């Protein structure tokens, strides 16, 4: 059974760096065709994809946010960490991590999809 859980601060101040941890079980991030992604959803708005780290260590970032994001994995600890620098009130959102699986007969980022999600953690940016 695959489970993921997000953890981190619920409140950060503007300009601070946010560090979120996704702790997962039921799969290995060393397995071919697996990835873990971070996404967020501001209150009342659509989901926004942030970053993905794949089983082979490859990483992809959302182009508009790329300069502020870093995603890393600790395979042995079953964790994926996302850092977001220079936080702003517009970054207030529920942050999710999700397990990604590559579809059969396909290669590249477009072939992975989210099949299991964490429940999310609300992060508020305010002074």
Partner 1 sequence: QSVVTQPPSASGTPGQRVTISCSGSSSNIGSNYVYWYQQLPGTAPKLLIYRNDQRPSGVPDRFSGSKSSTSASLAISGLRSEDEADYFCAVWTDSLSGRWVFGGGTKLTVL
Residues that bind partner 1 (CB under 8 A): 4, 37, 39, 45-49, 60, 62-64, 96, 98, 103, 109-110, 113-120
Here the tokens at position 125 are 């940016």
The CA distances from residue 66 to 83, 88, 99, 125, in Å, are 11, 15, 20, 19
Which residue matches tokens 């780290």? 53
Which residue matches tokens 């970054």? 91
Report the residue number, 14 or 42, with the smaller CB distance to partner 1. 42
Closest contact distance (angstroms) between CB of 115 and partner 1 is: 5
Closest contact distance (angstroms) between CB of 87 and partner 1 is: 21
Report the residue number, 17 or 109, with the smaller CB distance to partner 1. 109
């Amino acid at each position: 059974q695959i489970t993921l859980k997000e953890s981190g601060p619920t409140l950060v101040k503007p300009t601070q760096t946010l560090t979120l941890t996704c702790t997962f079980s039921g799969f290995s991030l060393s397995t071919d065709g697996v990835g873990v992604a971070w996404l967020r959803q501001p209150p009342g708005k659509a989901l926004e994809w942030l970053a993905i780290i794949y089983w082979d260590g490859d990483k992809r970032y959302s182009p508009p946010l790329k300069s502020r994001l870093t995603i890393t994995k600790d395979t042995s600890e079953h964790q994926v960490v996302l850092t977001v620098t220079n936080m702003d009130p517009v970054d207030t959102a529920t942050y999710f991590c999700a397990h990604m699986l590559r579809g059969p007969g396909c290669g590249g980022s477009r072939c992975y999809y989210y099949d299991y999600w964490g429940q999310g953690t609300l992060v508020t940016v305010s002074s």
